[in-house]
Amino acid sequence: MEKKKRYLKKVTSIKIEPYLAEYVLAKFPVDHKTGGVKIPSSSDLYFAIWELMSKPRHDQDDADGNLMISLPCRRGYDSIAWKDPAYYNHLSRSAAKSIENVIRLMFNFELHRVLLENEEFGHERRNQDVIYDFIREYNLKSITPDALLKNYYRYRNRIRPKKTRKYKK
């Protein structure tokens, strides 16, 4: 019984934007015993979570969140700075915001990469079709295609601003 309790303590939940939680659940594998997302050690998100793990205070209650994360365990890499996930199993609100920013960066990078590749290959498909495929691939239900398209157009205007034509008589 003690082993099972210790195993369940290695999972924590955080509250982030719903579409980002759906993205992470579709991108990374889910542990069926605990329900937590297992993040690979090659990901930037893994190291962000590792840095932000802390011990919970005695008067702290567990926050309800929409994303369960299996905490990273780096025992084999560095035995001096090892954080046991059974004890360092708390992510504060500011840590959740930092993790949300890392996930948003991953999400935007992947979305923009897909749309820019379509543009490079001569617009084989419409941008809306590319976005519908992206939504279908990651099973996103809480964000609209128009919001993603607007996000991409803002990004594209930051990269390549349109030049106004000079007036000639």
Tally of domains within the chain: 1
Judge whether 34 lies within some domain: yes
Residue 168 lies in a domain: no
Tell me which residue range forms the domain holding 135.
2-159
Asked, for residue 6, whether it belongs to a domain, the answer is yes
Residue 37, SS3 per DSSP? strand
Instruction: Report d(CA 82, CA 79) in Å as an integer.
Output: 5
Query: Residue 167: inside a domain, yes or no?
Result: no
Note whether residue 165 is domain-resident: no
pLDDT tens track, the chain, 169 positions: 466 665 567 889 999 999 999 999 999 999 988 889 999 989 999 999 999 998 887 766 666 889 999 988 766 555 556 677 777 888 989 999 999 999 999 999 999 999 999 999 999 999 999 999 999 999 999 999 999 999 999 999 999 888 888 888 7
Structure tokens at 30: 């889910």
Asked if the structure places residue 82 within a domain, the reply is yes
Q: Domain for residue 21, yes or no? A: yes
Q: Is the model's pTM score more than 0.75?
A: yes
